[in-house]
Structure 1
Amino acid sequence: MGSRITNFASLIALGIAIAAAPVRAAGPEDARFEAIYKAEWSWRQAQHEADEDDGDTISAHLPDVGPAAQAARLARWTATSQALAGIDPARLSPANQTNLAVYRYQIEALLAAQRFRDYERPLNADTSFWGNLAGVAQASFRTAQDYRNYLTMLGEMPRYFDQQIANMRAGLARGFTPPQVTLQGRDTTVTPVTDAPTPEANRFYAPFKAMPATIPAAEQAALRAEARRVIADKVVPAHKALLQFLRNDYIPHAQTALGAYALPDGKAYYQSKIFEFTTLRATPAEIHATGLREVARIRGEMLAVMRAVQFQGDLPAFLAHLRSDPQFYAKTPQDLLNRAAWIAKTFDGKAARYFGHLPRSRFAIKPVPDDIAPFYTSGRGGPGVYLVNTYNLPARPLYSLPALTLHESAPGHAFQMPLAMEHKDLPGFRAEYISAYGEGWALYCEKLGDEMGMYDTPYDRFGMLSYQMWRAARLVVDTGIHTMGWSRAQAQAYLHENTALADHEIETEVDRYIAWPGQALSYYLGEMAIVDGRARAERALGPKFNIRAFHDAVLELGSVPLPVLQTRIDRFIAEGGKGPYPDEE
């Protein structure tokens, strides 16, 4: 463990610095800083009033992603960055020292994405601007105004899609697209809209099928009539134009090279993505080496489990056995959903022993929609929902389901993210998701499952180790693809040889890494920050260490860069292991 901590500490040392200033009350510097972030945050929210990733917001408008708006964003974040350079952390209150560290990271990441014109690539292997919009139809509609806002938003689709297509054309012209191989078949995610036989059969009509009884019948009828008109006149034509563009122009002429280094200013671009997704200043070579070390370490643990079940053969043979034996797979989609629900409920019975403060929000368990399931990950969680992919059941092993559920539902994403949203005393920008923290926490929850007794069989525990290996291997694969010239087949083979993932999932995952540079790095580096921080706290505090207090201290932060997390753990140790809530003693 000691060398692992040293290795991670060297990465953290490359992260953003946090001032070690004496405790002081709020003063003039605090007022200057707060004026900067409050003005920018208010503006940022207005810019993304109808952020297509927010399925719980029913806005009357879609974002403006045209040239003037993009130029305005570049100018605003440049000015904000310059203003922050004049803020002295040592003159801020402790709370604002943390806020400044988080906010500086956000602005730097936003500004870099704008400078590299990320908006010219508004899609990757499993997500897209049009696919994200479909989620708005699944939001909770409560009032007639919600429906009117929704109809106005649908009416803006032609303008919004035209702007996105124009951005994609600009990216295409300069060789800034996802690699062509990752786009094959993605046009079929548009056809459920274009091929719906009637407006009522269109996915965007779904909210009108069962409307709240509080809306008078006559008004319901009028809203439904308007929905049929807008879907026929605006929504379907916008999607048809997109489909034609994808099939005739974008996919056939997308770049064929896989690595980020092949993109315009690719080395700098990939380094910016490392910072965005890991919050660290580490180099690709350092991350690749960390991945190789961790893959070797986890492989040893996997071999120990293989010996414990007395499997006669080597690791490749054991992996082949896990991928092919019917006992490890659900018979029906509902079987898979039922097992996921059982695992989630089992955690509920253990939660109070490991967490002092629980979120008020609950979550539903739903299957991934059929039209995106073939390209989607095995599961995904967030506020209010845990999506389980029931497509291709032979690719969804039950031995991995406990780890997946802990990661995506509780105490992972559907637990941590609502807690962050419930921290009303934090500035609004602190609710923004930071991948290294959020994914690191969720991966830590998989490991925590071992301690909580969530893995009933050695195979379940092997599934957890396979998932740990999967995320460690991402450090090797992502840097290999984007900086070392790895091929798609080489990356797939590496995951096939080192994890128990089904080949279908390996293919979709590798395509995701190819099309989304750097994102895959966030998981394991984030987990390492929590695991190593906890080990440091346990050594320093000895019998005073309280697991509930530690988890609450980590979770009360919201979503923060990893150096901010390390600073909070240092304070947890300095305060004798005291948690943020009084009932933890």
Structure 2
Amino acid sequence: MLAALLGATMMVAVSASAAPTNGSADATLRQLYTDEYRWRQQQLAADEDSRREARAHLPDVGPAAQAARLKRWEDTAARLRAIRPADLSPAEQVNYAVYRQQIDALLNEQRFRDYEMPLTADTSFWGDVAASARDPLANEKEYRAYLSMLGELPRYFDQQIAEMRAGLRRGFTPPRVTLAGRDIGVAQVVEAKTITDNPFYAPFVSLPKQIPAATQAELRRAGEAAIRDSVVPAHRRLLTFLRTEYVPGARITLAAADLPDGRAYYQSKVANYTTLPQTPEQVHAIGLAEVAKIRARMHQVMAQVKFRGDLPAFLTFLRTDPRFYATAPQQLLDRAAWIAKTFDGKASRYFGRLPRSRFAIRPVPADVAPFYTAGRGGPGVYLVNTYDLPARSLYALPALTLHESAPGHAFQMPLAAENKDLPPFRRDSYLSVYGEGWALYCETLGEEMGMYETPYDLFGMLSYQAWRASRLVVDTGIHAMGWSRERAQTYLRDNTALSDHEVTTEVDRYISWPGQALSYYTGQLAIQRARARAEQRLGPKFNVKAFHDAVLALGSVPVSEIDRRVDQLIRDDGRGPYADEE
């Protein structure tokens, strides 16, 4: 997916035999990542970046552009190898490590031609474009940009269809079973009864009052024309392609190992999403051990609530007792808001620097909700899935909220973006092992913060922990060890309190997105190990706020850089990055 392409930068060639030292090495590296990242934003950011100036255009994803990206990143990798990290200042050594990981990941994606499979079970290029229709537009310039983007939809969709056809010819597609019903968002655009009912018309329903009435009328006419002449025809061609060619022709096997050069492909995903030199078998073993530890804690909670029965019986009780479920969507949203606000009252005791930006809480859009996760968060928004309320337990909502809103994604990502000490390629990028690892760590932090008010809330957190540990088992099981979809579902059902609906959608997500599920628990373990080391070495000098500030000030980094930063915190006697500001 193109979202994974956000986050690195380029430099000027340097001879390995005449490697520069210190200041000149720093300057060479800075030039490299500054130039490449600026180029990368021009190439790719328009697809998923929410910046207003990017919304006017959709990227070129045709064969020539893909070949140019491959060459640029091969060039960049060669120039990076010519720089010796030992010749860099400490700050640039960190930049080098982060940037090297980004370029390696980008290069692997380009070499394996990931762009020929631009969708998973719950994300797609057409869904990314549709999301722009839900963003508020503030002025005439932004409306003109939106109209420009709509005009580019036919070219962009046709390019994507051509790439998907190429993938189809070589068996490089998501498994067919994960594609059932995923064309609903495309169909809604094609089958809208009138132009004003079309989802892409939403920004024109109510325009900002500061835009003159005559201009509003002109913008609406232009919007109607763009939807009639560009948006609907592009979606109609896509819908026909999906239903007559792509889904019927998609592979019936599940494992990434079954793709072209599949074992190497999956190993590249393990490396990308864990940033560690691990084999699938090693990851699988870690998952089994962690699930066993979590199950032991689950039994403690069962004893606390005096439940008579085994774990499967307790899980059935949690899945079926109506007291644990909202009866209306707004009830679920209201409870999420209450939990988020409760954290606000505790934040200053655990974090020194808080982000300036805030976030909204919204329901997941209806066209993707049936296949979407329970929630998802990031800068400015925490999405809560209100589809199928009997599948959305209230006892898991505290852990979900801490993960997706604050202090998880809607907290960590803005802090990185606001950190002017980081170069842009680190402020803007998102590395899953760090971002998801941090958010999962925040779920466990909720116990320390007193966020779990009942034993059932605590069990909800443990179930979520087991869910992420189970991913280490299930993802590697499916993609490297021949597990069936049913075996993966049974494993999740037996070890978590996830509803049957969530078990199905989650397993399909792992099947269609190899390796990504490994990042969560891997990152959390790294942060927890680093904290335990700091607590042990610093003793009474350990300050949880300083620890959190040090980790969050990094932006998205590989696991090795978390360790390096915490080692520095220990050498600094526990003084955090903002100690001089206190």
State the TM-score, normalized to the length of structure 1.
0.95
Q: Is 2:193 the counterpart of 1:197?
A: yes
Q: Distance in 2 between matches of 1:262 and 1:110?
A: 22
Per-residue deviation, residues 36-84 of structure 1 (Å, max 9, x unmatched): 1111111101101412364766522100000000000000000000000
Q: Distance in 2 between matches of 1:162 and 1:524?
A: 38
| SS of aligned partner of 2:57 | coil
Q: Is 2:92 the counterpart of 1:96?
A: yes
Q: Is 2:264 the counterpart of 1:268?
A: yes
Q: Which amino acid aligns with 1:419?
A: L
Q: Distance in 1 between matches of 2:521 and 2:240?
A: 39
Q: Distance in 1 between matches of 2:102 and 2:393?
A: 37
Give the alignment of 1:131-170 within 5 angstroms: 131-170=127-166
Q: Distance in 2 between matches of 1:90 and 1:266?
A: 35
Q: Report the alpha carbon displacement of residue 428 of structure 1 after superposing the two structures with TM.
A: 0.8
Report if the CA contact (8 A) 2:45-2:54 is conserved.
no
Which stretch of the first structure deviates more once superposed, 502-511 or 137-146?
Answer: 137-146
**1:311 equivalent in structure 2:** 307
**1:128 equivalent in structure 2:** 124
**1:504 equivalent in structure 2:** 501
- Say which of 243, 246, 249 aligns to 2:242: 246
Per-residue deviation, residues 383-430 of structure 1 (Å, max 9, x unmatched): 000000000000000000000000000000000001111012211110
Report if the CA contact (8 A) 1:57-1:136 is conserved.
no
Give the alignment of 1:403-482 within 5 angstroms: 403-431=399-427, 432-482=429-479
Tell me: CA distance 1:301–1:30, structure 2 relative to 1, closer, same or farther (3 Å). same
**1:516 equivalent in structure 2:** 513
Q: Is 2:91 the counterpart of 1:63?
A: no
- Say which of 487, 492, 496 aligns to 1:495: 492
Per-residue deviation, residues 429-451 of structure 1 (Å, max 9, x unmatched): 10200000000000000000000
Per-residue deviation, residues 120-166 of structure 1 (Å, max 9, x unmatched): 00000000000011111222322211111110110000000000000
RMSD across aligned positions (CA): 1.3
Q: Report the alpha carbon displacement of residue 25 of structure 1 after superposing the two structures with TM.
A: 10
Q: Which amino acid aligns with 2:426?
A: R
Report if the CA contact (8 A) 2:21-2:87 is conserved.
no
Q: Distance in 2 between matches of 1:55 and 1:286?
A: 40
Q: Distance in 1 between matches of 2:387 and 2:459?
A: 23
State the TM-score, normalized to the length of structure 2.
0.95
Q: Distance in 1 between matches of 2:133 and 2:420?
A: 28
- Say which of 556, 567, 575 aligns to 1:570: 567
Give the alignment of 1:19-30 within 5 angstroms: 27-30=23-26
Tell me: CA distance 1:311–1:511, structure 2 relative to 1, closer, same or farther (3 Å). same
Q: Is 2:231 the counterpart of 1:235?
A: yes
Per-residue deviation, residues 220-265 of structure 1 (Å, max 9, x unmatched): 1111100000001000000000000000000011000000000000
In structure 2, runs of 5+ residues without a counterpart are 1-19
Q: Distance in 1 between matches of 2:526 and 2:418?
A: 24
Q: Distance in 1 between matches of 2:287 and 2:52?
A: 37
Q: Which amino acid aligns with 1:198?
A: T
Per-residue deviation, residues 470-499 of structure 1 (Å, max 9, x unmatched): 000000000000000000000000000000
Per-residue deviation, residues 196-221 of structure 1 (Å, max 9, x unmatched): 11121111111112222221111111
Q: Distance in 1 between matches of 2:90 and 2:225?
A: 55
- Say which of 76, 83, 86 aligns to 2:79: 83
Per-residue deviation, residues 515-544 of structure 1 (Å, max 9, x unmatched): 000000000000000011000000000000
Q: Which amino acid aligns with 1:186?
A: R
**2:481 equivalent in structure 1:** 484
Q: Distance in 2 between matches of 1:286 and 1:337?
A: 39
Tell me: CA distance 1:57–1:373, structure 2 relative to 1, closer, same or farther (3 Å). farther
- Say which of 207, 214, 218 aligns to 1:218: 214
Q: Which amino acid aligns with 1:392?
A: D
Give the alignment of 1:166-185 within 5 angstroms: 166-185=162-181
Which runs of structure 1 show a deviation greater than 3 angstroms over 4 or more consecutive aligned residues?
Answer: 53-58
Which stretch of the first structure deviates more once superposed, 385-394 or 181-190?
Answer: 181-190
| SS of aligned partner of 1:365 | strand
**2:43 equivalent in structure 1:** 47
Q: Is 2:252 the counterpart of 1:256?
A: yes
Q: Distance in 2 between matches of 1:93 and 1:211?
A: 51
Q: Which amino acid aligns with 2:545?
A: R
Matched-pair identity in %: 67
Tell me: CA distance 1:181–1:486, structure 2 relative to 1, closer, same or farther (3 Å). same
The number of aligned residues is 562
Q: Report the alpha carbon displacement of residue 507 of structure 1 after superposing the two structures with TM.
A: 0.2
Q: Distance in 2 between matches of 1:359 and 1:547?
A: 17
Q: Distance in 1 between matches of 2:192 and 2:181?
A: 18
| SS of aligned partner of 1:50 | helix
Q: Is 2:525 the counterpart of 1:528?
A: yes
**1:18 equivalent in structure 2:** none
- Say which of 339, 358, 362 aligns to 2:358: 362
- Say which of 271, 283, 288 aligns to 1:292: 288
Give the alignment of 1:273-352 within 5 angstroms: 273-352=269-348
Q: Distance in 2 between matches of 1:129 and 1:223?
A: 26
Q: Which amino acid aligns with 1:173?
A: R
Report if the CA contact (8 A) 1:125-1:515 is conserved.
yes
Report if the CA contact (8 A) 2:167-2:173 is conserved.
yes
**1:395 equivalent in structure 2:** 391
In structure 1, runs of 5+ residues without a counterpart are 1-23
Q: Which amino acid aligns with 1:65?
A: V
Q: Distance in 2 between matches of 1:91 and 1:583?
A: 29
Q: Is 2:6 the counterpart of 1:37?
A: no
Per-residue deviation, residues 248-306 of structure 1 (Å, max 9, x unmatched): 00001100000000000001100111111111111101100000100101000001101
Tell me: CA distance 1:229–1:522, structure 2 relative to 1, closer, same or farther (3 Å). same
Q: Distance in 2 between matches of 1:283 and 1:117?
A: 22
Q: Which amino acid aligns with 1:66?
A: G
Which stretch of the first structure deviates more once superposed, 137-146 or 219-228?
Answer: 137-146
| SS of aligned partner of 1:521 | helix
| SS of aligned partner of 1:197 | coil
Report if the CA contact (8 A) 1:56-1:140 is conserved.
no
| SS of aligned partner of 2:545 | helix
Report if the CA contact (8 A) 2:150-2:226 is conserved.
yes
Q: Distance in 1 between matches of 2:581 and 2:247?
A: 55
**2:535 equivalent in structure 1:** 538
Q: Distance in 1 between matches of 2:236 and 2:278?
A: 43
Q: Distance in 1 between matches of 2:169 and 2:513?
A: 19
Per-residue deviation, residues 162-195 of structure 1 (Å, max 9, x unmatched): 0000000000000000000000111222111111
